Structure 1
Amino acid sequence: MRVLVNGWFLQHPTTGTGQYVREILRHLPEVRPAWEIGVALPEGWEGSLPSGVAPVILPRPPLPHPFDKVWFEQVTVPRAAARWRADRLFVPYWAPPLRAPAPVVVTVHDLIPLLFPEYRSHPGVRLYTALALAATAGAAHVLTDSEASRRDILRRLGLPPGRVTAIPLGVDGRFNRRPDPVADARVWTRYDLPPAYVLYLGGFDRRKHIEGLLAVYRWARDAVGEAFPLVIAGRLPEGSRRLWVDPRPLARAWGLEEVVRYIGPVAEEDKPALYRHAAAFLYPSRYEGFGLPVLEAMACGTPVVASEIPALAELVGDAAYLVPPEDPRAMAGALIAVLVDAALARTLRERGPRRAAAFTWTACARRTAEILEGLGGASTPAGG
C-alpha cells in the first residue's frame, strides 16, 4: 500500500504536532515494512527524515503566510497524492483537504478553536476552522489522542462513532528514570538549576493556565518556595496578549520573583534529565487533548501534580495527584504534600513509570496502520 503523509509540521519539531508526526513516521515503517510511505514536504524544508520514508518535495505557493499553508493543505498535497498514486492520504493534524484522490485519514488532536472562543476571535482563524470542519465531515476516518477528545469530537462535529477512533500517543524510551551522568552535568550547567526545584514545561497559551501556575506558588511560597523554587521552562512570550500569558509581570506583582526561575527554551536532548531531577512536575492546564509533558514526566519518575480534567485523568490513572485547575489553594496543598511527604513522593515515582510504560509509539503506529489499511473501499472526501 502507498501512503502519503502531510509533513508540514516536520518544520516545527518542538510543537506537539511536530513530535507526533516524527514519531509516527519513525514507527510506521517498523510495523508495516512492506508499505511505501511518502512524506509531502514544502520546497526549501531541510531536515533529516526517519528511515523507511521517502520525501515528496512540493513547491511552495507564491502566497504570503498563512495562505501558503492553506494552499499546501488544500491544493498542493491532494495533487501530489494523485501524481504519487497514493492509496491513502494521512493528515496528522486538523487540516484535511476538501477534495482528495484517495481516502483521507486525519488526526484531530483536540478541538481547542471550538471549545475556547478566545482562540477563534481572529477572522482568519474562524475561516480556517470552518474549512477544517467542512473537510473533516468528508474524511474517511478521524483519529484523536484520547477518549476525552473523542467525546468532544462526537459531540461537536456530529460524526458517526464508527468513524472516530482514539489512539493514545506514546513516550520515547529516552524518558526514563535511569541516571545519565553526562546529561545530568550538562543540564545543571546549561540551565543554572537550583539544587532542588519544581518544574513547569508546557507552553504559555491561555488554556495552560499560567495565572493558576503562579497562584499555586502564592499559596505554597511560605511552605516550600525557598527550598523548591518553581523553574519555568520554554520561550517566554514578549508580554501578555490575547492568546499568550507572560508570567513575569504577574510574578512581580505577586512578590514571587525570589521563588520563580526562568530558564528559557530547552533542547530536546535535555528534557529527560530536566524532568528526572525535578522534585515535582506542576501542570495546571485547563484543557488537554492528551498531555504529553505529563506522560514524559511520569516516565522519568517525577511526581506529577496536575489538573483534574478528562484527558489527564484518563492518561495518569492513579499515578499522579490531580486537583481541579480552578482551585490553586488545593493544588498548592497537593504540591506541598508531594514535596514534604517522602512516602507519597516515592509512591508516585514508582507508579509513574509503570503507567507510562503502557503508552508506546510502536502501539500508536500499529493502531494507526490498522485504521489506514482497514478502510478498504472507503469513499474519498466529497468531490474526490
Structure 2
Amino acid sequence: VTRHKKTHGIVQILIDYRPALRNRTGVGVWVYKLIEALAEAHADALSITAFSSSWKDRFTATLPASIRQVDRRVPVRILNWLWHRREWPPIEFLAGGPFDVVHSPSPLLIPTNGAASLVTIHDVDFLTHPERADGEIQRDYPPLARTHAHRADAIVVPSLYTREQVARRFNISSDRVFVCPNGAPEWPLRTPPRPGGHLLFVGSIAPRKNVGRLLQAYGRLRRAYPAAPQLVLAGQPASDADPLLATLRQPRFAGCVRHEGYVSEERLRSLYADASAVVLPSLDEGFGIPALEAMTVGVPLVVARRGALPDLVGDAALLVDPLDVDELSKAMQAVVTDTELQERLSQAGPKRALNFTWRASANVLHEAYLFAIEHRRR
C-alpha cells in the first residue's frame, strides 16, 4: 500500500555506514546489504551517501559505484557523544549535503539541518534489560530512545514483533514504523551432511542469547544420550560474558563444547554445512539472522518460542520454551536422533527462507524514505 504522495526528483539520502565497517555482526550486515539493494533497485530515484567516521576503520567493502562515500577521521565514541549529548554537529557539517533524508542505523537520531530523519530499532532489549547492554548503549539509549523515536519522521524495524514492541512501549502509531527484515543470503543448499555433525549455536556469547541454559541443556543431553554430537559456539563474547566463559572451561565440557569466537563468513558456512542442527534459545530477538541462514541452507532448527523467532521460522523449526532446560534438552535430542524430523525441517527451511529478500526490504525502505519526507513537510 502506497503511504505517501508522489515525490518528484532524485531523493538525496545519507545513511550512517559505521556499523558495517568492522567484523560485520547483525546490524552491519543489514546496513551493507540494504544499501547495496537500494542502489540496485532504486538507482533512478535515490542518490545515496554512505557516511563513515572512525579513527581506525576505513571503507573496505566494494559498494556500488553510484554510492558516494564520505569518510571522516573522527573517533566514533567522540562523535556519538557529541551527537547524543549535544545534538551537534549537524551531519551536513561533516558530509556536505543538502540531504532529503538522514537515516540512522541506531535508535538515536543524527543531527541534521532540516532533513527528514529515520531511526532504526533492531530490538528493544536495551529498554527491557538495560543491564545487559554495553557501555554507550547502556548510557545513551534508554534515556534518549523514546524522545528520538517521537521526533523521527519514520522508524525502521526488522520484524513485526519489533514493530509491535516499539509501537506499544513508545506509544507511537505503527503507521510510522516500517518492517525491513534481513534478506536470506545467496547461499546454495548444503549437500547432505555426514551423520553425527555438531550442534551449532551462532550469536554473541551473552546472557540474552541464553547461552547459560543452552549449556545446562547440553549437559543433560550428554547424560541422557552419551553419543550426542559436539556443541560448537560461534560468536564473540559480550562484555558481560565472563561467567559464561568460565562455565565453558569446566572439565565436564572439555572436548565436547568448542567456542570458536567470531568466525568469517567462509568458516560460518562450513559450520552450517556440517551441523546436525542449529540451536537458538534466545530470550529475546528482534529478528534472528542465524535462523534465516540455517533455513536457507537446509539445517534443522531448534529455536525459542519468544521474540521474533516464531514468526521468522514458521514451520521450519522445533519451538521450545527458552526457560525450560529440560524441554530444550529433549528438543536437541529429538533433532539429532529422529531422521524423519530432520528431513521435514531440512525441507521446510529453504522454502520458508524464500520469503525474505533484500530487494523486498529495499522497496519498503524506499517507501519509508518517501513517507518521512512527507511527514517532515506537514
TM-score by length of 2: 0.87
Please name the residue that 1:358 is paired with. Answer: 355
Deviation at 1:265, TM superposition (A): 2.6
Query: Aligned runs of 1:106-185 on 2, under 5 Å?
Result: 106-119=119-132, 125-174=138-187, 176-179=188-191
Deviation at 1:113, TM superposition (A): 1.1
Please name the residue that 1:222 is paired with. Answer: 223
Pick which of 24-33 and 161-170 moved more. 161-170
Deviation at 1:206, TM superposition (A): 1.6
Deviation at 1:136, TM superposition (A): 2.0
Which amino acid letter does the alignment assign opposite residue 12 of structure 1? R
Query: Aligned runs of 1:225-374 on 2, under 5 Å?
Result: 225-236=226-237, 243-253=240-250, 255-374=252-371
- 2:228–2:333 CA contact under 8 A, matched in 1: no
- 2:83–2:110 CA contact under 8 A, matched in 1: no
Pick which of 271-280 and 254-263 moved more. 254-263
Say what the alpha-carbon RMSD is for the aligned residues: 2.7
CA distance in 2 between counterparts of 1:221 and 1:17 reads 35
Deviation at 1:146, TM superposition (A): 0.9
Q: Secondary structure at the match of 2:52?
A: strand
Match status 1:198 vs 2:217 = no
Which amino acid letter does the alignment assign opposite residue 89 of structure 1? V
CA distance in 1 between counterparts of 2:183 and 2:225 reads 33
Please name the residue that 1:32 is paired with. Answer: 42
Deviation at 1:337, TM superposition (A): 0.9
Please name the residue that 1:190 is paired with. Answer: none
Please name the residue that 2:16 is paired with. Answer: 6
Please name the residue that 2:211 is paired with. Answer: 210
Deviation at 1:110, TM superposition (A): 0.9
Deviation at 1:366, TM superposition (A): 1.3
Deviation at 1:251, TM superposition (A): 3.9
CA distance in 2 between counterparts of 1:260 and 1:22 reads 32
Pick which of 326-335 and 4-13 moved more. 4-13
Please name the residue that 1:68 is paired with. Answer: 79
Residues 14 and 122 of structure 1, relative CA distance in 2, 3 Å threshold: closer
- 1:168–1:364 CA contact under 8 A, matched in 2: yes
Pick which of 17-26 and 41-50 moved more. 41-50
Pick which of 65-74 and 89-98 moved more. 65-74
- 2:101–2:117 CA contact under 8 A, matched in 1: yes
Select which of 40, 43, 52 maps to 1:41: 52
CA distance in 1 between counterparts of 2:153 and 2:225 reads 52
Please name the residue that 1:55 is paired with. Answer: 69
Please name the residue that 2:4 is paired with. Answer: none
CA distance in 1 between counterparts of 2:333 and 2:317 reads 14
Structure 1: stretches of 5+ with no match in the other structure: 185-192
CA distance in 1 between counterparts of 2:376 and 2:53 reads 27
CA distance in 2 between counterparts of 1:122 and 1:86 reads 31
Q: Percent identity?
A: 28
- 1:4–1:39 CA contact under 8 A, matched in 2: yes
Q: Secondary structure at the match of 2:213?
A: helix
CA distance in 2 between counterparts of 1:342 and 1:317 reads 20
Which amino acid letter does the alignment assign opposite residue 363 of structure 1? A
Q: Secondary structure at the match of 1:374?
A: helix
CA distance in 2 between counterparts of 1:158 and 1:209 reads 29
Residues 252 and 83 of structure 1, relative CA distance in 2, 3 Å threshold: closer
Residues 133 and 70 of structure 1, relative CA distance in 2, 3 Å threshold: farther
TM-score by length of 1: 0.86
Residues 293 and 380 of structure 1, relative CA distance in 2, 3 Å threshold: farther
Number of residue pairs the alignment of both structures matches: 362
